[in-house]
Amino acid sequence: MLRWVRQQLGFDPPHQSDTRTIYIANRFPQHGHYVPQKFADNRIISSKYTVWNFVPKNLFEQFRRVANFYFLIIFLVQLMIDTPTSPITSGLPLFFVITVTAIKQGYEDWLRHKADNEVNGAPVYVVRSGGLVKTRSKNIRVGDIVRVAKDETFPVDLVLLSSDRVDGSCHVTTASLDGETNLKTHVAVPETAVLQSVANLDKLVAVIECQQPEADLYRFVGRITVSQQTEEIVRPLGPESLLLRGARLKNTKEIFGVAVYTGMETKMALNYKSKSQKRSAVEKSMNSFLIIYLIILLFEAILSTILKYAWQAEEKWDEPWYNGKTEHERNSSKILRFISDFLAFLVLYNFIIPISLYVTVEMQKFLGSFFIGWDLDLYHKETNQRAQVNTSDLNEELGQVEYVFTDKTGTLTENEMQFRECSINGIKYQEINGKLTPEGFSEDSPDGNRHSLMREEELFLKAVCLCHTVQINADQTDGADGPWHANGIASPLEYYASSPDEKALVEAASRVGVVFTGTSGDSMEVKSLGKPERYKLLHVLEFDPNRRRMSVIVESPSGEKLLFTKGAESSILPRSKSGEIDKTRIHVDEFALKGLRTLCIAYRRFTPEEYQEIGKRLHEARTALQQREERLADVFNFIERDLELLGATGVEDKLQEKVQETIEALRLAGIKVWVLTGDKHETAVSVSLSCGHFHRTMNILELVQHKSDSTCAEQLRQLAKRIKEDHVIQHGLVVDGTSLSLALREHEKLFMEVCKNCSAVLCCRMAPLQKAKVVRLLKTSPEKPITLAIGDGANDVSMIQEAHVGIGIMGKEGRQAVRNSDYAIARFKFLSKLLFVHGHFYYIRIATLVQYFFYKNVCFITPQFLYQFFCLFSQQTLYDSVYLTLYNICFTSLPVLIYSLFEQHVHPHVLQSKPVLYRDISKNAHLGFKPFLYWTILGFFHAFVFFYGSYLLMGEDTSLLGNGQMFGNWTFGTLVFTVMVITVTMKMALETHFWTWINHFVTWGSIVFYFIFSLFYGGIIWPFLHTQDMYFVFVQLLSSGSAWFAIILIVVACLFIDVLKKVLYRHLQPTSTEKAQIMEFIGSLLCQRQKHLDSLHNGLTHLLTGTFVNALWKPCGAHTPIVGSEASSVLHPCPRKD
């Protein structure tokens, strides 16, 4: 228990070394000095609280909020000193806010506990004591041998020991981890692959040494030492041996694996993303307003305290005859009395800080986020995917975006590759009707209609069929020798691949005659024009972003050792020493200009001596536990040299639907679009032109292929000069990765100046971290613009997390981008609806909510301050304590909440069809200083009208009530409070444009509820109340006709100025949004008029048709009039006979 506590506090971390040693089946060494390592259990914990820490931890988190902590201090002050209001007035609203938030967070955590218990209690089978034992998932320990059957999910991270296949391979889908639906092949080492029974596995003596847990799903470094009789065999372990928790076993009956990472140390758990810590601009504005109102509060409290003592300087007011001081009060310290009075005034005016603002905003964000998921316009039917909200904290930020950073492949394009062209031995080819045809030849020409392949063509296609990670549907592998077409080509096989490029190339090769038919053990099978060939797969040199290529070493049927390599032209051409290099480079550039994705393909032959040296180096690098990646990179570079270039491929990735329209709409909305891609310069520019990111009339500026700081700086200065000279036309900038690194190193300011003066920016050859750097650079610039990043792949995650708003595309490159995003959509075109409609609505709603909250609290507390001038600053309260408590909780809370959920000041179709309306809310326009000042001044103005209007109309009348009683202070306070509740509710009604039955219910219902509550509260003697100052006050107030006249007059006077201001501004200085509202209103009137005319026309036609038909029908003896749609059916069976 003590060790667990130390681990939780971070004093005793479970891992002391860089590696862990795992004894399979937990057969530890027998010598006494061995101390076993401690590993985590297999429980998954996604919950935040426990039963024991929920109350203290939740309270701590809630009181970290300034407003909550402030009201706690006020509540404690009310308990400690004699204050004018009851502690309940602060304590009850605080308790309500804390309780509602705690219930919400507790319920969410209970759901997480429930999900955790379901996962941790799942049944699993482990090998123990020579047999299979059924246990719960949470009981698996590191070192246990676990059995997993077909279609089951792996309960821990396992190293594969054996499967039901002879070669020890199995197929896995990782869709729940990275979204990739293709089948991945994992293999066991040969020494354990033969152990296919529980009895044999129970006898296995082996040790695994591997790295400590890390979050990277695609990295695993380890080795296994198997003891066989007197010798020990060491084999390397990599990602191909590791089965990840959450992945699912497919096309394999069962596998056995040893648990290496358990519970919260599995890669899936380490990739859990905590809630986004991003803060919206609205939240920052809200905190600024709170500070300003806190200053106003302190000013009012200090001023009131000073004026109190100034007033009491006269002896007659210091101790009036009706309120004499006690001896203790006369002898108390003046400083202590001053502090006590200051705190009392602070308590009296504290409601100017709206405590319920936080909980209302939280409820609005949480409930409002459901509208995105429910929006059918954001639903993609083909993939059955809805929009997804991962955090509701940034809803309003969608309405403030100034820059959009987008990936290209899979975001602007479909990521569905189609083979278009290739270059083989310096000759360009196209696929025409399943045949590889040289450029310039048609199918009918003599050279175009061939049934055989040249040697270079065949070698090129074999390289395409052997150098890949493509898998074949297991149901088809048995039928590979099935029906053949007349030209000797097999019927199409169903391929699976993690890369759409690879799948497109292998499918193209199969169509033209060289078919990849699958793998069998360590062999790859290919059929060239119907002739089967088997290549032994010796080594795979995996793809990595730094090398930008992958290779395979195979043994041909003739025994020759061959290396096949494919990758970006920048990584293949410099390593090639022979072949048509110059012609291929020209062809690659031509392909790129057409917007095609290019790959170069090369090969190399090894002598027996060279291959022996390569095998030795690879084994040493792969079995190393330290710096394995660096050693492998060195060996790969040693192998992939002196290549002979075979050719290049051009694959088309077509644009997504409505990409061009979406980018143009973003531009009209005042949003600048930057495309950040890893593609080569020519391809990226071509796609930018085709998708409308660059216009044909735009002046394209380039900052590419710079190798030194001096040349980069000189080019930047020239570009800045050109922009100033040609400021009339639009400019587009193209930057590559190497030039960007130089520009950001020492010329950041100049680079940003050039970029900001360009309408569109394209960054190509970008590494993932470079994407994040560009976003951070713009995000932290002096203007502090709001940025949005959108992408679909793992390489976009850093960019998505860096931007103010991150959006993941549910594409074909996995779900990492979606998991790490704030919002997820199925297609790029949905971005316009998300920003222009949802973003616009969310911002308007929450901006009005925040301003309205401050306004109604100014209205609420300013009369309290003014009242002190009439009661010698004696700290007498104007309102009853119950009204103080319920004002924000009950009387005025629901109308603004419903407004913030349903308000649509302009129709959604208008917002989407007129992107320029987005400019009206940009740069936090509705929460700037001017709107804040307007709402604050309006609040003070209304408060003055409430107070002095009531005073002038009623204050001097001593016999106003029907029974002749005097008009007392509680009656006066209730009148002010009644006028205030009606006015602030009507003010919310004036702000509402979109009325539903719910708006009507809560708006008028709030006013009715206030009257009913006041009648019951003041009309009954409540036994649990110590004093009841309000008894019969409200009933007497409503019995006075003058009071009703005063209420109506004051409410109209308050709202008249506001209505007048709205009318004048709408006619003299209308915004684009207000113009759209007027046009929408006129359109609705015209539509109603047209409907009226149509109904009138239909009625006349209906009547005339019915009369005519009845005339036709009478000769046949029919007496029932027939009209409408039935008329046509009776004309023919019963015609009139003249």
How far is the C-alpha of 257 from the C-alpha of 259, rounded, in Å? 7
Which residue's structure tokens are 């591997």?
A: 210
Quick one: which of 746, 793, 802, 755 has its CA closest to 775?
802
- HSE (CB half, 13 Å, CA atoms) of 368? 30
Task: Calculate mean pLDDT across residues 171-199.
Answer: 77
- E strands, 792-835, are 805-809, 823-825
Is the per-residue pLDDT at 484 higher than 60? no
Is the per-residue pLDDT at 1123 higher than 60? no
Give the pairing type, strands 731-736 and 760-764. parallel
Task: Calculate mean pLDDT across residues 471-487.
Answer: 49
Is the per-residue pLDDT at 258 higher than 70? yes
Predicted TM-score of the model (pTM): 0.71
Q: Which two tokens stand for residue 740?
A: 């960007």
Quick one: which of 518, 650, 539, 689 has its CA closest to 604?
539
pLDDT class of 1099 with cuts at 50, 70, 90: low
How far is the C-alpha of 49 from the C-alpha of 984, rounded, in Å? 40
Using one digit for the tens of pLDDT, what is the confidence trace for 862-872? 998 998 888 87
Using one digit for the tens of pLDDT, what is the confidence trace for 398-444? 888 999 998 877 788 776 778 888 999 888 988 887 788 887 766 55
How far is the C-alpha of 890 from the C-alpha of 233, rounded, in Å? 76
Pick 311 or 778 by higher pLDDT: 778
How far is the C-alpha of 752 from the C-alpha of 490, rounded, in Å? 56
Residue 324, pLDDT score: 61
Residue 1019, pLDDT score: 72
Task: Calculate mean pLDDT across residues 321-334.
Answer: 63
Is the per-residue pLDDT at 489 higher than 60? no
Is the per-residue pLDDT at 219 higher than 70? yes
Give the pairing type, strands 731-736 and 699-703. parallel
Task: Calculate mean pLDDT across residues 555-573.
Answer: 88
Is the per-residue pLDDT at 809 higher than 50? yes
pLDDT class of 967 with cuts at 50, 70, 90: low
Is the per-residue pLDDT at 909 higher than 70? yes
What's the whole-number average pLDDT of the chain? 80
Pick 89 or 545 by higher pLDDT: 89
Q: Are 87 and 76 in contact (CB under 8 A)?
A: no
Q: Where are the alpha helices (DSSP H) in 312-333?
A: 315-318, 327-331
Residue 989, pLDDT score: 93
Across 113-117, 635-639, 884-888, 1118-1122, least confident range:
1118-1122
Residue 148, pLDDT score: 92
Across 234-238, 879-883, 980-984, least confident range:
879-883
Is the per-residue pLDDT at 653 higher than 80? no
pLDDT class of 988 with cuts at 50, 70, 90: very high
Quick one: which of 733, 740, 735, 787 has its CA closest to 756?
733
Give the number of other Cβ atoms within 10 Å of residue 370's Cβ. 12
pLDDT class of 955 with cuts at 50, 70, 90: low
pLDDT class of 280 with cuts at 50, 70, 90: confident
pLDDT class of 158 with cuts at 50, 70, 90: very high
CA angle, 288 then 289 then 295, to 5°: 95
**Greatest CA separation found in the chain?**
124
Is the per-residue pLDDT at 1069 higher than 80? no
Pick 961 or 810 by higher pLDDT: 810
Helix (H), strand (E) at residue 646: strand 643-655
Q: Are 769 and 798 in contact (CB under 8 A)?
A: yes
How far is the C-alpha of 487 from the C-alpha of 135, rounded, in Å? 57
Give the pairing type, strands 823-825 and 805-809. parallel
Q: Are 816 and 178 in contact (CB under 8 A)?
A: yes
Task: Calculate mean pLDDT across residues 1115-1134.
Answer: 36
SS (H, E, C) 940-1001: HHHHHHHHHHHHHHHHCCCCCCCCCCCCCHHHHHHHHHHHHHHHHHHHHHHHCCCCCHHHHH
Q: Are 222 and 158 in contact (CB under 8 A)?
A: no
> In the sheet that 169-173 helps form, which strands lie side by side, from edge to edge?
184-187, 169-173, 248-250
Residue 1133, pLDDT score: 37
Using one digit for the tens of pLDDT, what is the confidence trace for 350-386? 888 877 787 788 888 888 888 988 988 888 888 888 8
Chain CA centroid to CA 302, Å: 46
> In the sheet that 787-791 helps form, which strands lie side by side, from edge to edge?
388-389, 823-825, 805-809, 787-791, 403-406, 672-676, 760-764, 731-736, 699-703
Q: Where are the alpha helices (DSSP H) in 447-597?
A: 455-466, 474-477, 500-511, 569-572, 581-593
Give the pairing type, strands 561-567 and 248-250. unpaired
Residue 347's identity, in one-letter code, is V
Residue 490, pLDDT score: 44
Q: Are 194 and 151 in contact (CB under 8 A)?
A: no
Is the per-residue pLDDT at 244 higher than 80? yes
Active site residue 407: yes
> Of residues 393, 407, 501, 679, which has the active-site annotation?
407
Residue 971, pLDDT score: 83
Quick one: which of 980, 1002, 1007 has its CA closest to 903?
1002
Task: Calculate mean pLDDT across residues 253-282.
Answer: 78
Residue 938, pLDDT score: 92
How far is the C-alpha of 40 from the C-alpha of 141, rounded, in Å? 8
Q: Are 480 and 522 in contact (CB under 8 A)?
A: no
- HSE (CB half, 13 Å, CA atoms) of 493? 34
Pick 921 or 680 by higher pLDDT: 921
Using one digit for the tens of pLDDT, what is the confidence trace for 53-109? 888 888 888 887 777 787 888 888 878 777 666 777 777 778 888 888 888 778 878
Which residue's structure tokens are 């270039």?
A: 645
Paired with 256 in beta bridges are 147, 162
Q: What is the phi/psi pair of residue 777, to 5°?
A: -60, -45
Pick 1091 or 577 by higher pLDDT: 577
Which residue's structure tokens are 């200065």?
A: 717
For the chain, the first-to-last Cα distance in angstroms comes to 108
Is the per-residue pLDDT at 322 higher than 70? no
pLDDT class of 944 with cuts at 50, 70, 90: very high
Task: Calculate mean pLDDT across residues 787-801.
Answer: 81
What percent of the chain clears pLDDT 90, i.e. is strictly above it?
12
Q: Which two tokens stand for residue 303?
A: 């001023």
3-state DSSP call for residue 1052? helix
Residue 331, pLDDT score: 63
